[in-house]
Structures are given as C-alpha cells and as structure tokens.
Amino acid sequence: MKAFLVNMATFCLMKPDVEKIKKALKDGTIDPVKMAGMASEARHKFLSSFVGETNAKQVNSLFESKLLLKNQKQAYITWAKRLIGLSKEVKQDMFSRIEKLDRVLNPKENEQFLQDLASTRLKVDVSQTEAKKIFDLSQKIQELKAKTDTTKYDVPLGLARLDLMDYINSLGGKKADFLTNIANIPQTLMTSLDLSAPLNQGWGMVSRKRFYTSLYTMLKSSVSKESFRNLQAETITNPNYQLAKKSGLRLTDLGDKLNLREESMMSNIFDKVPGISASQRAYTAFLNKLRIDSFNDLIKKAEVAGEDITLGSKSVEDIAKVVNNFTGGARVGKIEGATPFLNAIFFSPRKINSAIQMINPVNYISPNISKTARLEATRNLIGSLALSASVIALYSLITGKKQETDPTSSDFGKIRSGDTRLDVTGGNATYINLLSRLITGRIKSSGGIIRKLGTKYGETSGFDLIAQFLRYKLSPNASLLVDAITKSNAIGEKKTIPESVMDRFKPMFANSTVELLKSDTDGKFGFTLASLFGAGLNTYSQETNWEESSNKEMKQFKEKIGENTFKKANEQFNTDYNEWFKTIIETEEYKKLSDENKKKVVTNGKEKIKENIFKKYNFKYKQPKETKTNKIEKQSVKRLFPK
C-alpha cells in the first residue's frame, strides 16, 4: 500500500502506521465496539500506541464523529475507510462552527465530552472541564434558538452567543499584536473622554432620522456596560446581521482583535480605565446602531425597488459600502487586518478614504452601482452639506458675525468667533478647501489676505499644500517624527521633543476645551458642547513669543528689565495686539485694502504696539559699535558689487 496524506489540518499517516491499523483491525486488537465504550482520553491513549501521539488526536476525532451517527455499525466501517482519505475541512467562522457542533458537543449515548473531536473542530486544545463549559454554553444557545422569532432580534439569545464567543476567545483567541497595540496608545488616549462619534464619523448621516435615534443608544452605552452588551447582543441577532457582515458592513467591537475595533481606539490597554472605557463604548455603540439600522432601512427600500437583496448580490454590497462611506468606515485596501498597521501611520485611514468616497463623483453617477445606494449617497451628501451651511448661517444671523464663504480660506466650513474655529463638517471641509486652492491657484488666510500659489523660492506651491495636508493626517507617532525633524508642529509652533510627546497623550476634547476657556471667545458653552459630540474645535493663538527672537533689540530689552518683567511685557504686547487686530479686521476700510497693504497694516501695527511697550519701560535700543571685522566685511561687500 502506498503512503498517503490525510487532509485534515496537519494530520499525516504514513505507510507503517496504516499497516499497523490494518493488522490490528484484522486480528481484533482494535475493536470499534470496545473503543466506543472507552472515555475519550483512554481511547486517545490506546490509539497513540498504533499511530503515535501526534496523529492520535485526529484518528480519535474521526472515530468520535462517527459515534454520533445513528447507524453505529456502518459508522465504524466508515471510520476505518476514512483513515485512508479524509477530506479537508472547510474553513468557516469560529462562532458558526461552534454553534453547529451541538451533536458533537453533546453525545446522547453518554455524558462524556468527545474531547479530541472538539479540539480538532474548534482549532483550540481544550480540557475536559473546558469542553463541558463549551457544551453548556452551546446547549443554552440551542434552547434559546428554539424559542426565538428569527424575524426579530433577541437580546437573551445574543447574550448567550456573546458568552460563548468570549469563552472560546479566552481559551485560544489570538491576543492583540503587542507592537501595534503600543503604537496606537497615543491615538486611543487623544480620542478619549468625549462622545465624538456623531459629529466626527457620523456627520455624513446627520440629516437622516437614524442619526438621532442612535444618540440615545450612545448615551446609555456610555454610562452602562450592560446597555452596551445588550446592544451588541441585539446587533448579532438582527435578522440581517449575517447579510450585513457578509456584504462588508462595518460592525465593530471592543475585543482583542484590533481590526474589529473602531480605528480611533485600536489599543485595548486602557479598556478598563473609567472615562476612557465609557467613551469607547459610546463611540462603538453609536456607529454600530447607526450602521445596522441604516442598512436595514436601505435593504427594505432596495427590495421594494425590485433589486436583488440576496446574499452575495452587488446591490447589497453597494448598500453596505454607502453606509460605511458616510459613517467613516470605508474599507482601506483588500487586507482587512492591515488597518491597525495603517493606523500607526495615518490618524484615521478609514475616515480618510470615507471622505474621498463621499466626494467621488463615480459613486453618484455610475450605472453599475445600485440605484438605492446612489440615491442614498446623494441624499446623505446634500443633506449633510445643507445642514452644516444652515448652522453656520444661523450662527451668523444670531451673532451678527460674518462667516467665511470662500472655499479657498482655511476658515471655510467653520464657525468663527475671535481666535476660535468650530468645524461643523466632520472635518470634511478640508478636502474641499485643498481642491479649491489647487484648482484656483490661490490661498485666502484667516486675516483675509489672498496669495497666489507660486513656484519660486519662498512661495507656497501646490506641492506644499499637499504635503501640509498629508502632515495633518499623520498618526501621533508619525507626526512626532516629523515634528522632531522640523523642530515645530504642523502649525509652526516651536516644540521640544518632550513637549511634542506630551501633546500626544492629551485627550483632544479636554485640550481644546482648556484652550477655549483661556480665550475671550463668546458662547463658550455652545462651542464646548459641540466639541464634546465631535465637532472640531481649535483656538488659534496669535501670540508672538519674544523668547524665540534672535533680534539684538529684544536681547537688550531683556537684559535691561530682567527675565520676569520681560515675560510680562511680552504678555502685554500680545494682549494689546489681539485687541487691536480684532477691531481693525472687521472694519470696511481694512477689508477694502489690497493684500500687500493689509500686510503693511499688520506689520506697522505690531511695530507701534512694541514701541509703546518699550516707552512704558523707558527702553531705547542702542546700536552696537561697529567692530573692525564688520568694517572689513562691509568693504569686501562694496568691492564685490558689479561695476
């Protein structure tokens, strides 16, 4: 007899082992009936004397599977035959595999658990005690399934499934990759201590009813672990759950598998820290509820429209994509597990791709995309943009403060109040801003100064804009490296490495709120509340730091009045300048000036305020005496001029 391979996992029987079994079956040493009466462990040991310890589990597993058949005699014969050619087991989802093993986990002939069979099927080595636990949990699922209306979600059944999944994962589930886990700590901390999912990833659905019905679920999950678990149980028993998952709908959890978590929290190290855990539950709950409910609504619409909504149909996949795109969950590349790695480079790769897909015209006009999906994308985009524009217009009407409407301005899509900017577009206005600047070839600053893009040295080019845009999208770790090289952050602030590192561990909501409270912005409570729910909040400092100046005049001034007084004088300068600038920038006279003259006004204003500060401290700058070296250099420069 030729040597052969048994295609189940790594099970391999060679010719000597086959001959031993054949001989033992013929002379009665191996008696299937007697083997059936043995305990699983004893049978495993018995078979190892013929095929060795390595193959005994697989041979015993095959035998135990036959014990469950009604025709035991035929089963024993089949078992012997199958030792010459087992078919490869089809890979399938862990949970589905377990739930279908009720007969394997519960042999009616005896109470013992068929240990080797379970270990083989579940791909996890289990003990007798663990196997019994799996059986009990599985049995509970079967009992609940018999009582469940499959047309509705069922929380008790969902909880039972979650219990089983959690237990199996605790036995042999792969833990989160250590390095990726550590790399994502800064982002996890920076996006914690808030309820930011709605106006961050959920902005694309802000005009839809499901956006608002998901808010209550989010708030309940933030204060109660039980509410969050009930939501997850409700989700996995949703009648369309399997259809949604197979079609690619992004539904997340808070377990060890990092690629199954929301990308803003791809580190599980702080899962049990109060405040952080609450914000993670809220974030996940809001998006899961919004996505599964929106998916269900669109499936019903597609069915009414006569579209194919069966598993694997393109219509269903298109619907899942449009829901993902408008909730910041667009897939990045073909390798799903690569997301945690990409997260270590970019701040939110899924959200970046979602924004790109939202403005991609193909998704609105292509006849190859489901009509239901195209209509939903159009409604979502128009509705979100209209609502954001309405909020900005309403704020302008109530406060009398004119807001920016030029898409080439960095303030476009934001509410302006003093030095504070509130982004009400979920961060998506930045993409329109970049495209507008590249297309028109000009930039408008917050001060109203318009500059053209150029290619000469010192001029801002299109390449500079793209590079700056990408820098803003870097992850905390990647941006730290860039900051260390350039010795400043993305907005030009001088930062030491320790300062930059500390910035990566500050929750963004808390940090921006502190900056807001220090400013003189009106309506601080409203800005803070909007920021809590995900609107981007930034308070830009217009301050000038005299400490960074290498100017000889400033060095003399500091030497004259001392370091402490120098700092007070610097603070006074910034206060006076900010008050002056806020006044003149709103005047019609300033607005009518050319860009060049606006710059002159700002420069002269700073100079005048500085002179007033110097007068207050009776300081006059003394020109240093010209040294012999300076004189020689001047003469050299003069001689080198062209005749």
Query: What tens digit of pLDDT does each residue of 591-604 get?
Result: 777 767 777 888 88
- What pLDDT is recorded for position 373? 97
pLDDT band at 627 (very low <50, low <70, confident <90, very high): low
- What pLDDT is recorded for position 192? 93
Three-state DSSP state, 452: strand
Residue 408 has pLDDT above 70, yes or no: yes
User: Which range has the worst mean pLDDT, 137-141, 190-194, 408-412, 473-477?
Assistant: 137-141
- What pLDDT is recorded for position 433? 93
List, for residues 334-353, the tens digit of each pLDDT value.
Answer: 655 556 667 778 888 999 99
Residue 202 has pLDDT above 90, yes or no: yes
List, for residues 409-418, the tens digit of each pLDDT value.
Answer: 989 999 998 7
Closest among 504, 515, 511, 520 to 194, alpha carbons compared: 511
Which residue, chain included where needed, has tokens 């400013």? Answer: 519
pLDDT band at 280 (very low <50, low <70, confident <90, very high): very high
Find all residues with CB under 8 Å of 397, minimum gap 6, and list them.
none
List, for residues 235-261, the tens digit of each pLDDT value.
Answer: 999 999 999 999 999 999 998 888 789
Q: Can you tell me the distance from the alpha carbon of 541 to that of 543, in angstroms, rounded to the nearest whole number?
A: 5
Stretch 494-502: mean pLDDT, rounded?
A: 83
Closest among 83, 168, 85 to 134, alpha carbons compared: 168
* Alpha-helix runs per DSSP H in 408-448: 429-440
Q: 417 - beta bridge partners?
A: 420
The pTM of this model reads 0.75
- Name the range with the highest mean pLDDT among 4-13, 51-60, 139-148: 139-148
* Alpha-helix runs per DSSP H in 173-208: 178-183, 185-190
Q: Can you tell me the distance from the alpha carbon of 256 to that of 276, in angstroms, rounded to the nearest whole number?
A: 16
Buried b (16+ CB within 10 A) or exposed e, 500-529: beebbeebbbeebbebbeebebebeeebbe
Q: Can you tell me the distance from the alpha carbon of 520 to that of 525, in angstroms, rounded to the nearest whole number?
A: 12
Region for 149 from its dihedrals, namely left if φ exceeds 0, alpha if ψ lies in -120 to 50, beta otherwise: beta
Token digits for 378? 């159009």
Dump the DSSP string for 507-523.
-HHHHHHHHHHHS--S-
List, for residues 37-78, the tens digit of each pLDDT value.
Answer: 787 778 888 888 888 887 888 787 777 665 555 444 455 445
Which residue, chain included where needed, has tokens 């009398």? Answer: 400
Q: Can you tell me the distance from the alpha carbon of 268 to that of 184, in angstroms, rounded to the nearest whole number?
A: 9
Buried b (16+ CB within 10 A) or exposed e, 188-212: bbbbbbbbbbbbbbbbbbbbbebbe
Which residue, chain included where needed, has tokens 């191996």? Answer: 30
Q: Can you tell me the distance from the alpha carbon of 408 to that of 79, in angstroms, rounded to the nearest whole number?
A: 74
Q: Can you tell me the distance from the alpha carbon of 175 to that of 181, in angstroms, rounded to the nearest whole number?
A: 10
Overall size of the chain counted in residues:
643
User: What does residue 14 show for φ and ψ, rounded to 5 degrees?
Assistant: -100, 175
Q: Can you tell me the distance from the alpha carbon of 529 to that of 535, in angstroms, rounded to the nearest whole number?
A: 9
pLDDT band at 296 (very low <50, low <70, confident <90, very high): very high
- What pLDDT is recorded for position 329? 93
- What pLDDT is recorded for position 2? 33
Closest among 530, 476, 522 to 503, alpha carbons compared: 476
Inter-helix orientation angle 276-304/209-223, to 10°: 150
pLDDT band at 643 (very low <50, low <70, confident <90, very high): low
Q: Which helix (H) or strand (E) holds 241?
A: helix 241-246
- What pLDDT is recorded for position 95? 46
Report the alpha-carbon angle 372-376-381, nearest 5.
155
Q: Can you tell me the distance from the alpha carbon of 54 to that of 56, in angstroms, rounded to the nearest whole number?
A: 6
Find all residues with CB under 8 Å of 166, minimum gap 6, and list them.
none
Question: Mean pLDDT over all residues of the chain?
Answer: 82
Q: Can you tell me the distance from the alpha carbon of 426 to that of 319, in angstroms, rounded to the nearest whole number?
A: 22
Token digits for 40? 């699983």
Environment class of 107 (CB within 10 Å of its CB; exposed 0-12, middle 13-18, buried 19+):
middle
Domain regions of the chain by residue span:
15-147, 174-333, 547-616
CB atoms within 10 A of CB 577: 19
Which residue, chain included where needed, has tokens 């997850």? Answer: 232
